[in-house]
Structure 1
Amino acid sequence: MKILLIHQNFPGQYKHLAPALVKQGHEVVALTCKVKEPQIWQGVRIVPYKIQGQSTPNVHPWLADFETKLVRATSCYRGAKGLKQQGFEPDVICAHHGWGESLFLKDVWPDARLGLYCELYHLTAHPFLNFDPEFPSKSPEADILRIRMKNMNNRLHEEIMDAGLSPTRFQASTFPDHWQNRITVAHDGVDTELVRPNAGASLQIGDLTLTRDDEVITFINRNLEPYRGYHIFMRALPAILKERPNAHVVILGGDETSYGAKPPKGQTWKQIFIDEVRGRIPTPHWNRVHFLGRVPYDRFLAMMQISTAHVYLTYPFVLSWSLLEAMSAGCAILASDTAPVKEVMTEGENGLMVDFFDTEALVERLGTLLDDADLRKRLGETAREFVRGKYDLAGVCLPQHLEWVAGLETLAPRPIMD
């Protein structure tokens, strides 16, 4: 089978799938704007395309998002035409359509089957909109219209999608009913042999070495921001540090914004909430708080392996890979009882849960976890077994993805609609 992969940051979600398809004997080509020169990566032929065009100055703000996707779509279309002229005719195209690139690929290859990575459909009802009352919509009525426009890329792709893939049931459930009979739920998977408990792990922070013998509270965001509960955790921090005089708090995350509203101009969410709580934290306590920024994967893994208790908070949104990795590492976890978390965690079975907004309960339940070594051991072991059984990369998820791709070839391609 000839397979074309589309991802603006290749390999992205195809990191494990692409080489596995090559090993099965398929011809795999990736079309991406990430590289400038053709290259081979683990048997995959990577073909670059160049972004041509730019956003229109002063375009309507609701249209700006789609225009950016349209620029990528037309650029990728030109790259695809070049591939076709070279004689490449894919049987199957797999694409993460979130950036718009795959919008016109069926115009190049109408007989190809198109499988999309369906990450999220934007919904306007509570709790998807205005979940956090601290950051209310500035214009609730207009935001409903804006979000409808934000789904334009999703809607146009639905017309040409032969099959979809969502990593969680929660994410699949955000899509309209008429999509869902074409969407398979299969997570990208966790390498549970790599991400595993390690009693000998250590984490070096300057002159400080933290190990499993220390009391370490961990918290991770891709970027430190409200969507992932950074503000809630920071507001709990003064009480946590006061009640746990020997605890070290290790926080990973960048200073940018991944999701939701950006902070006021010239500021970062990270510093805004540091400034909010710093006056209530004596300097000796503050010296036990360690912001590491973004770190290499081995350092992230070491942090998970020395964690005494891991805190994970999120709005109703895409589930962070880091939660499943923390579970695979055998962490004792305290998480928000929001919908995406409930899909993988059961209160008292493989973790403890708390209302997203309840900082007092967070402090209390974290103390319960830190004071009970037997509870932590049981929760951590159960969490790891859960991930090994349902989200293991080699044994569960990668076979599901390979089966999904094989199934794509058997479908009759959906025609382009005028």
Structure 2
Amino acid sequence: MNSIPAHIWRGGEKWMVNAAAGLHERGHTVICIGKKDAVWLDKAKTRGVTVKPMNIHADFSPIIISLLVAFFLKVKPDVLCCNFEKDVRLGGIAARIAGVRVIYVRKGLSLLCNKLRYRLAYKYFADRVLSPSQFIKDNFKQYTWLAQDRIDVVHNGVEIPDVSTFDRNKILSICNDTARPVLFGAGSLFWQKGFEYLIEAVSLLNKKGYYPHAVIAGEGDAAPYRELAVKFKVDNYIHFAGHRSDIPELMYGADIFVLSSIDEGLPNVVLEAMAVGTAVVASDAGGTKEIIDDGQNGYVVPVKSAVALAEKIELLLSDESLRSKIAKTGFDCVKEKFTIAKNVEGVERLFLKSLNTRHPL
């Protein structure tokens, strides 16, 4: 169950669709509940998953809860997996009334509040928490009311695309230039993504004579970042591509993928870049170090450090052999540890185990 606004399609929604489709392919009956006309429900439906659109308009509604109770009594699910605390307050209560055996909450970011409504929701209407990174689990230690043994970690997985159909030079059309190198960053234009540090890093690299273009793809207001690019005198080198459906192809065409984030769960974009064989420089946000072995399959730098980003980018730009080696090791890492199949296997294993071990409250 994911009651995110209908138009949004981000990492959490990708995870739900991939997990639902993967479990469906393994023979489980899966139903996705979300808002009417939700993009993620449409994508789940195209993967063969049954969907249940609902008019979910409030954080707490006896009417919505009663509709969910009736639905759960009809379909008799064994497990409910919620995306938001709102989903717990609606779906969790309904599931408890209807006798659903296990209620999971997936936490893609370490966002939790030490408020009464959260404590009550997690105590009475959620059995376990599913996290994509050990970082998030460790961060939750500050909430003493949420026991660590109730939190399970399953790393995200990504698709490994067929790059033989990709045009490596497609990204250059966004730059309006045929010159390389090209850096690439992807994510919604929110403060958590720290794109200001990538912009400043480009400025520092220009001063050393590299003059890289940087393409940033993602929805949101680019105006503040454009102003910053003007301030750093790199406005001719920073390009905002908006929402794109061809992110893997753009990643493939980039010389280096840069994660400049301040806060992450387990950054899918890092995995996606590695999966197309592009070298990565990433900030130490969230579970980044659970993916990158610094200096082996990528580079990890401190958060909020344009200087550190620029240093590692320069290292890779100045040594093509090293860049190729890092890219190859990164690809091998994803292929071995971070595929969608491995994620689905882990989720399935946890769900089945939880059905055998849950005790009544």
Q: Give yes or no for TM over 0.5.
A: yes
- 1:95 — aligned with what? 82
Change (3 A) 1:154 1:322: farther
* Alignment partner of 1:45 is 2:50: yes
* Alignment partner of 1:403 is 2:349: yes
Q: What SS does the corresponding residue of 1:214 show, helix, strand or coil? A: coil
- 1:114 — aligned with what? 103
Q: How many Å separate the matches in 1 of 2:23 and 2:174? A: 45
- 1:320-331, aligned counterparts within 5 Å? 320-331=267-278
Q: How many Å separate the matches in 2 of 1:246 and 1:232? A: 16
Change (3 A) 1:180 1:196: farther
Q: CA deviation at 1:203?
A: 1.1
* Alignment partner of 1:221 is 2:187: yes
Change (3 A) 1:210 1:109: farther
Q: CA deviation at 1:382?
A: 1.1
* Alignment partner of 1:203 is 2:149: no
Change (3 A) 1:202 1:19: same
- 1:153-164, aligned counterparts within 5 Å? 153=118, 155-164=120-129
Change (3 A) 1:201 1:236: closer
Q: How many Å separate the matches in 2 of 1:187 and 1:316? A: 17
Q: How many Å separate the matches in 2 of 1:312 and 1:226? A: 13
Q: How many Å separate the matches in 1 of 2:176 and 2:67? A: 50
Q: How many Å separate the matches in 2 of 1:275 and 1:99? A: 36
Q: What SS does the corresponding residue of 2:50 show, helix, strand or coil? A: strand
Q: How many Å separate the matches in 2 of 1:381 and 1:197? A: 16
Q: How many Å separate the matches in 2 of 1:383 and 1:410? A: 37
Change (3 A) 1:78 1:229: same
Q: Tell whether the 8 Å contact from 1:162 to 1:413 is kept in structure 2 after alignment.
A: no
Aligned with 1:349 (options 284, 296, 314): 296
Q: How many Å separate the matches in 2 of 1:322 and 1:408? A: 30
Q: How many Å separate the matches in 2 of 1:75 and 1:191? A: 39
Change (3 A) 1:45 1:245: closer
Q: How many Å separate the matches in 2 of 1:46 and 1:207? A: 37
* Alignment partner of 1:32 is 2:20: no
Q: Which whole-Å deviations, capped at 9, do the CAs of 1:32-82 have from their partners, x for residues lacking one?
A: 22349x999344332232235xxxxxxxxxxxxxxx5324xx454132133
Paired residue total: 345
Q: What SS does the corresponding residue of 2:155 show, helix, strand or coil? A: coil
Change (3 A) 1:170 1:210: farther
Q: Tell whether the 8 Å contact from 2:93 to 2:125 is kept in structure 1 after alignment.
A: no
- 1:9-28, aligned counterparts within 5 Å? 9=4, 12-28=14-30
Q: Tell whether the 8 Å contact from 2:132 to 2:155 is kept in structure 1 after alignment.
A: yes
Q: Which runs of 5+ in 1 are unaligned?
A: 1-5, 53-67, 124-146, 256-267
Q: Tell whether the 8 Å contact from 1:116 to 1:163 is kept in structure 2 after alignment.
A: yes
Which amino acid counterpart does residue 109 of structure 1 have in structure 2?
A: A
Q: CA deviation at 1:373?
A: 0.5
Q: Could you state the TM-score of these two structures normalised by the residue count of structure 1?
A: 0.72
Q: Which runs of 5+ in 2 are unaligned?
A: 7-12
- 1:305-324, aligned counterparts within 5 Å? 305-324=252-271
Q: For the aligned residues, what is the CA RMSD?
A: 3.1
Percent identical among aligned pairs is: 21
Q: Tell whether the 8 Å contact from 1:308 to 1:331 is kept in structure 2 after alignment.
A: yes
Q: CA deviation at 1:93?
A: 1.9
- 1:294 — aligned with what? 243
Q: Tell whether the 8 Å contact from 1:189 to 1:391 is kept in structure 2 after alignment.
A: yes
* Alignment partner of 1:165 is 2:130: yes
Q: CA deviation at 1:295?
A: 0.6
Q: Could you state the TM-score of these two structures normalised by the residue count of structure 2?
A: 0.82
Higher helix share: 2
Q: What SS does the corresponding residue of 1:201 show, helix, strand or coil? A: coil
Change (3 A) 1:216 1:154: farther
- 1:130 — aligned with what? none
- 1:233-272, aligned counterparts within 5 Å? 233-244=198-209, 247-255=212-220, 268=221, 270-272=222-224
Which amino acid counterpart does residue 310 of structure 1 have in structure 2?
A: F
* Alignment partner of 1:8 is 2:3: yes
Q: Tell whether the 8 Å contact from 2:175 to 2:237 is kept in structure 1 after alignment.
A: no
Q: Which moved more, 1:235-244 or 1:194-203?
A: 194-203
Q: Tell whether the 8 Å contact from 1:191 to 1:393 is kept in structure 2 after alignment.
A: yes
* Alignment partner of 1:174 is 2:139: yes
Runs of 4+ that moved beyond 6 A: 207-211
Q: CA deviation at 1:184?
A: 1.9
Q: CA deviation at 1:206?
A: 4.9
Aligned with 1:83 (options 66, 71, 74): 71
